[in-house]
Amino acid sequence: EDQVVNGHDEKETNPFAEYMWMENEEDFNRQVEEELQEQEFLDRCFQEMLEEEDQDWFIPSRDLPQGMGQLQQQLNGLSVGDGHSSEDILVRT
């Protein structure tokens, strides 16, 4: 049987082993801060990349002059046919 001395197993060499990270708390804090700064940097770079990509796309509502938006809507409403069916065109020709 394992002997228990002062509430700890005899095999356990350091009863405070789980708290040893506190000895290097400054290093731990520095490492976490560096990771947070790196993540912030990556987020900022990703956002800049998305903004640059948006500038490369042609968006009529944004890139055309004011009156052109209405013209664009009118053009979108036009259909290709002139009201005659394809049979009418074939009969005429």
Is 35 inside any structural domain? Answer: yes
Provide Rg for the chain, Cα atoms: 36
Q: Is 52 contained in some domain? A: yes
Does residue 48 lie in a domain region?
yes
Say whether 8 sits in a helix, a strand or coil. strand
> For the whole model, what pTM was predicted?
0.41
Write out pLDDT tens, residues 41-82: 999 999 999 888 877 777 766 777 666 666 767 777 776 665
Task: Count the domains in the chain.
Answer: 1
Predicted local confidence at residue 53, as pLDDT: 83
Q: Is 90 left (phi over 0), alpha (psi -120 to 50) or beta?
A: alpha
Task: Show the domain range for 31.
Answer: 8-56
Least confident of 29-38, 50-59, 78-87: 78-87
In a domain, 15, yes or no: yes
